[in-house]
Structure formats: C-alpha cells, structure tokens
Amino acid sequence: MCPHASDRMDSYRRSRDAQKNIKLFRGEFWPDAWIGPTVPQTAPDYAEKMAHLERVFQSANILRECSCNWRDGLISEPFNWYLKGQNGDRVDSESDATAAEAEQQLQRWMDWVEQQAINADPKSTNFQQSDPWAEFVLSLGVTGEGALRLWQPARYAEADDPIHRIHLHAPKAGTVTVDRSESDGFIDEIRYTYHSGEETQTMDGDVVAIATPEADDPLTVDSGGRWLIQYTAGESIFTPSVKRLQNALNHALTMMVRNSEVAGFREKVFANAELPEGDVERGPGRDLYLYGVPAGDPSSPEYAPVTIHESEPVDNASLGAAIEGRRVFNLVAAAY
C-alpha cells in the first residue's frame, strides 16, 4: 500500500471514530451503547418491546463531564508566555520597552479573540464553545485531533486597528488535512475544508501562501516560517475502557428503573387455579377465593391446592453500588 493510500485510510478511520465520540459527548447513547438484554429481532413483539426499552433507557453522561473537567483544567488559568529576541534569547518585558509593548499588544489580541469568539458560526465547530481555546481542547480530548487557525474576515480586512484583522478559529475535527513530505516527514501543505469552500496553505521560506478558490492570487503572509493553521493529533480520552465503563453505568441505571418497574407492577402466576367465569374484584380489604383444578371422580372431585408465585424485585443495593463504582473514573478525570 502506498503511503498516501495509508494516510487516507488512517484519516478515514480517525474521522469515523471522531464522529462516534462526538455522538457520545452529546449523549446519543441509544441504541449502540446498550449492552443489556434485548429481544430477538425475529420475535413477533420485537418492535413493541424495544420501544418500551428505549423509553425506560437511562444514562448519565460521565464522558461529557470528564471532557469538560479536562477542558477546564487546561484553560481555566491564564496562559503563560514569554518573548524572544531575534537572537533567540528570552527578553524580559519588565526591563525592555520593546518587549513590554509587544506583550501589551499580545494581550490586546487575546482580549479581542475572546470578544469576537461569540460571533463564531456554530456550524463551523463541533462543540459550540464561545471560546476557540475551549473548542480546540474539547476537540483534542474527544476526537483525538484539534486545530487552531488564524484568519482574516473580509469585513475586518481594512480595520484601522491591525489587531482587529487577526481572528482565531478552531475548525471542526476532520476538516483540516496535513500533507507531509515522504522524504523527511515535514509538512508540505495544509488544507482546511469548510461548508462553502476550502483554503490551502503552503510555505516558501518564512512566507505562507494561502490559496482559496474565489481568489485569483494567493494571499502571502510573512509569518516567520510558522503555519497559520496549527494541527495536533493524539489519543482521545474516550478510550475503549472508558467507553465500556460509560456503557456499564447506563446499564446499571436502566436496570434500576426496570427493577423499580417490577416492584410496582409485580407479575403473579396462579398454579393449579381455575380461571374465574367473570371479572374478579381485587384490592385492599377484599377477600379473594380461587378454586383449584378439579381432579379424580367428577361426582366427588378433589381439588388441587392453589399456589401463587409473585415476582420479586432484586435488592437495589447492588445496582446502587455499581453506579457509584462507575463514577470513579469521573473523579479521576476531575483531578487533572
């Protein structure tokens, strides 16, 4: 298999897994995440019983809680940065006026990003976060990939304040593709595909060229050799073992509801009892007599003893313990 075909297959698998994880983040567990007993599809009442099971299906989205705890742990504190001079050495902004001015402009831009994030198109993100940093972190944790993109909206192209021309966007997982050199593994090209088109970035020395279908000539930016789209990939925190724990929690919650249902509506089996000819009034304060099935000589029959078997719910303590046990991994995630 050629390297490009392998990359395409890997990209396809990553995209497929990302979409499944996004569904789990949104709480879309039924029916794929149900691991409990079900009804054979050949059963005549299959549709009816599965509809009832779907109605009582319970879930507690611990995966989402873990993801949000992880996000908050990474971005809840202010970012730390430092500045370097042209020689590569760090510059103390407290003693260098130029560095102090650069730091002030950087902070102005960070404030501008937060101010403008509320205007982001919800269709361009997976998690609808009002902060691109939060969107990026959630995407990385849930889908295993994330990207940050610097761009310039047309309406701000001629803004008086240069800071207002630079916006930050966290694209959806799967919309950024990185092509690398087969010889050394370095990036040759980055493509971002969105609902109405795409942009392609290439690098020539320190200059990034951004090509779009609607522009005759690419936009060039002297970025100092840095790409204007930063892409990161890693392992999702939605590991197979964590997903199984989530499924087990949903199972225990659903079985608890089913158990309560049994407790409120018990099934009774009357063995060796004749069916009454008409309706029988039942309830508190009423006496109910049931005759056994006649046996022996019809002229002087004997009647079989009537026994009543009533379904009993199981003790909820075991289900409650299971539910609390499944929440342990949420506490672990909260510690990060």
Residue 290: predicted pLDDT: 67
Give percent of the chain above pLDDT 70.
Answer: 80
Report strand pairing: 294-295 vs 268-271. Answer: unpaired
- pLDDT tens, 159-205? 999 999 999 999 998 899 999 999 999 999 999 998 878 999 999 99
CA distances to 38, 39, 48, 267, 268 from 43, in Å: 11, 7, 10, 21, 23
Q: Residue 101 pLDDT more than 50?
A: yes
Residue 193: predicted pLDDT: 92
Q: What is the largest CA-CA distance in the chain?
A: 118
Calculate mean pLDDT across residues 207-232. 92
- pLDDT tens, 285-300? 555 666 677 777 777 7
Residue 333: predicted pLDDT: 45
Residue 261: predicted pLDDT: 72
- pLDDT tens, 11-46? 667 788 999 999 999 999 999 999 998 889 999 999
Residue 325: predicted pLDDT: 57
| Distance (Å, whole) CA 187 – CA 8 | 16
Residue 27: predicted pLDDT: 96
- pLDDT tens, 72-98? 999 888 888 888 888 889 998 888 898
CA-derived radius of gyration, the chain: 32
Residue 62's closest CA among 318, 245, 321, 336? 245
Residue 292: predicted pLDDT: 75
Residue 139: predicted pLDDT: 96
